[in-house]
Chains A and B, each alone.
Chain A
């Protein structure tokens, strides 16, 4: 990919990370760890790969993004605001009464939010329904889903995985945000989902394994998924929970805790000092 595009995406990611930690700090609660691990995937989709019209959120031909791991709502909100679905000012209202941005995504009240999520495991099944409708209507939109690795413990994920392969939903791409942690600890200690790629393969999916913070790898995976015929694609993206903020990285304690003012300051200083790789 060309350098300008890469630089642009990296700067988007930086701005999104800043919005995430700021909005969670201001809200006083929320989930920074799993929001930060999915930043590059969401940015690659919204600022490069997806066919969208932020000014026309119900455009029938649009590609859809389903945040199945709904607790990463701050990530989705930051990206949607930057893409122009609603004013960035709204981010300050996260989790506050009478405001739009709910603790977990609410599709009926938030422009750009396709599916209400928060209860884990449901996103792929809903995405399958959207994808089936696309096939029925002869529309070529694509449906992207971001699921957590801990979320793979939900049985419905595998019901939906079976169904997507059965109905040959090659318009569905699932990104597994494999950051290795869930609330109670390392996923291998809580309930080991490994071997993750083998499981998706066994369910009939085309499987790709990438570094989920590397834009060229993410974009290449999206391109591959587009070209795969007759089966859905699962992209197992190795990520770092809390990515970009040194004291949050790989710390399970940052799954669902808001930074205090001094921690926010340290986080913003770190992000300000960031240089592209």
Chain B
């Protein structure tokens, strides 16, 4: 059994290390420092931490001002509030002027759990990737979070990092490399390609193992950099397999699945199945119950692979 750690915990720890090395890093929160884990930075660097209170628009615009004056601000709150409540502030005060603001939003997706639909962001990837110049990143585990936060700090320009509340298996070791615009291929197979992000990467790997036992070999790609997207790797994997499944803890409207479908429709159309939240809100429940009910497990990915492989065969049979 792999050990688990929430990406928000990895974020909090990385911020402290970053703060020691890079004096320009400042952190802002909106009364959720204990939940987003910016509390660790606040304790280590009280002068460089600003609690903006329950005021997300103010959080984002203040971060923009700090960035314009040369700081590297990380602004954190829950994903629903960061990207929903403060969308237009992000658009006009961060993305449009290309302010060097890092929005690290936690509690994304259904694994928020018991707090229910009001707090479960399943739209944030769609919202953020629609903004010109916004980098959109979704780490699959703690190690990738660490690398991503450091890469975001080094990158000049706005970045959105999507983090989760619940523990996720540790998938990557110290050798793992992360780069914006690169999507590591974690496993290769010719029957189908799974493009996954966030907690669904671990599920995709589990599905791949189960499918292998049933005689289906699939490629698994970690699309942690949703924007910029590693178009070359994704097109190549789709070409090799001729069938694609996308998997995300997010609405199928506008998220990873949409981004992959947009890319493949233009460059290499193949049948695509989308595992994700099917245009609905979540509800209260334990994270694992929610993932079951809303179809976000290895089982659902495996069924998606079977469907898409069948579609691929039907298409080639018709030709």
Contact = CB atoms under 8 A, between A and B. Distances in A.
B208 interface: no
15 contacts: A60-B70, A107-B97, A114-B68, A115-B93, A122-B89, A122-B92, A125-B60, A129-B62, A130-B65, A130-B69, A132-B50, A133-B26, A136-B71, A159-B55, A163-B58
B71 to A, nearest CB: 5
Contact of A115 (B50, B63, B68): B68
B131 to A, nearest CB: 14
Interface string A105-142: 01110000011111101100111111111101100000
Contact of A106 (B58, B61, B65, B97): B97
A130 B68 contact: yes
A156 interface: yes
B88 A119 contact: yes
Interface of A: 60, 106-108, 114-119, 121-122, 125-134, 136-137, 155-156, 159-160, 162-163, 166-167
B67 interface: yes
Contacts of A118: 92
A125 B68 contact: no
A129 to B, nearest CB: 2
A223 B310 CA distance: 77
B132 interface: no
A200 to B, nearest CB: 16
Given A116-B93, A156-B89, A159-B57, A129 B52 contact: no
A133 B66 contact: yes
B48 interface: yes
B64 A126 contact: yes
Contacts of B93: 115-116, 119, 122, 125-126
Interface in B93-114: 93, 96-98
Contact of A107 (B55, B62, B68, B73): B68
A95 B249 CA distance: 43
Given A122-B61, A122-B92, A125-B58, 14 more contacts: A107-B97, A115-B93, A126-B61, A126-B62, A126-B68, A128-B62, A129-B69, A133-B66, A136-B71, A156-B55, A156-B57, A159-B57, A159-B58, A163-B62
For chain B, what secondary structure do more than half of its interface residues adopt (helix, strand, loop), or is it mixed?
helix
A159 B48 CA distance: 20
A60 B71 CA distance: 12
Interface of B: 26, 47-48, 50, 52-53, 55, 57-58, 60-71, 73, 88-89, 92-93, 96-98
B142 to A, nearest CB: 30
Give the top 9 A-B pairs by smallest Cβ distance, nearest first.
Answer: A129-B65, A125-B61, A133-B69, A159-B58, A159-B55, A126-B65, A129-B66, A129-B62, A116-B97
A121 B73 CA distance: 21
A129 B66 CA distance: 4
B57 A116 contact: no
Contacts of A130: 65-66, 68-69
A160 B98 CA distance: 21
B97 A129 contact: no
Nearest to B64: A126
A127 B52 contact: no
A228 B175 CA distance: 55
B26 A136 contact: yes
Contact of B58 (A115, A119, A160): A160
Contacts of B68: 107, 114-115, 126, 129-130
Contacts of A60: 70
Contacts of A128: 61-62, 65
Nearest to B65: A129
Contacts of B48: 136
B53 A163 contact: yes
Given A118-B92, A159-B57, A163-B58, A125 B97 contact: no
A155 B71 CA distance: 26
Contacts of B92: 116-119, 122
Contacts of B63: 129
Given A119-B88, A159-B55, A159-B57, A131 B65 contact: yes
Among A122, A125, A129, A131, max chain B CB count under 10 A is at A129
Contacts of A125: 57-58, 60-62, 64-65, 89, 93
